[in-house]
Amino acid sequence: MTELFTSFSDYAINLPWLELVAMLLALAYVLWAAVGSIWCWPAAFISTALYTYIFYDVLLLMESALNIYYLVMAVYGYRIWQKDAAKNNEQSSLTLAIVSWPQSIHVKACLILTVISLILGYLMANHTPADFPYIDTFTTVFAIFATYLVTQKVLENWLYWLVIDTASIYLYLAKGLTPTVILFCIYIIIATFGYFKWQSLYRNNQIDVKQTVNG
């Protein structure tokens, strides 16, 4: 018990504060996304800027490249949600309609993404100094697609994130990124909440549409 306390105290003293700030902002992004707030995108922009540097520093090259993509998508997502909110004369994106894609589309997407991941993973393993190239590439490729699903308010995005976050935890444990490991454990909880929250919004929207048509 004493050794555990000493270990925690040493870690707190040497806490990587840059990573902590990135973690807290990333957490804010997911929480705001789960409830449909447009403020998720500014939080995402700053967080991903920080993580681009952090992952590059520990040679998770695909993760670093992924966060550059996140920067672009944070701007894109903000503009899309802002335009849709303006159409409804709202100041937030809470009224945006959640959509659900057919299972056949997700099966095809997963097959294509898996093939891309294997090809890129092979290239990373044989032509770069990247650590864990296949897992790193898998999480990157699928996260690119899942992030696009978030910008389009596709319900199933949360199911993708559950798998991606679980795989990412292994990577970050191996690299000693403890605050990020904690963050991704919380992500799994929030992704579960987000899925059921968006599912409820989707069902309510479907009811409203039917009532409008029948009315």
Q: Residue 86 has what pLDDT?
A: 67
Q: What pLDDT is attached to residue 213?
A: 52
What length does the chain have?
Answer: 215
What's the pLDDT score for residue 175? 81
Give 10-residue mean pLDDT values along the chain (215 residues): 51 67 88 88 93 83 82 91 68 63 96 96 87 88 93 94 94 82 88 93 73 55
For residue 4, the model assigns a pLDDT of 41
Alpha carbon of 100 to those of 105, 193, 197, 205: distances in Å?
10, 17, 13, 11
Cα–Cα nearest to 168, from 130, 138, 128: 138
- Round the CA-based radius of gyration of the chain to a whole number and report it: 19
Contact between 152 and 93 (Cβ < 8 Å): no
| DSSP assignments along 104-117, one per residue | HHHHHHHHHHHHHH
- Asked if residues 137 and 62 have their Cβ atoms less than 8 Å apart, the reply is yes
Residues 171 and 63 sit within 8 Å (Cβ to Cβ): yes
pLDDT of the residue at 132: 86
Structure tokens belonging to residue 82 = 């802002």
Domain ranges across the chain: 17-89+101-214
Residue 194 pLDDT:
92
Determine which helix (DSSP H) or strand (DSSP E) holds 199, and give its type and residue range. helix 178-214
- Which DSSP string do the residues of 145-198 spell out, in sequence order? HHHHHHHTTBTTHHHHHHHHHHHHHHHHHHTT-HHHHHHHHHHHHHHHHHHHHH
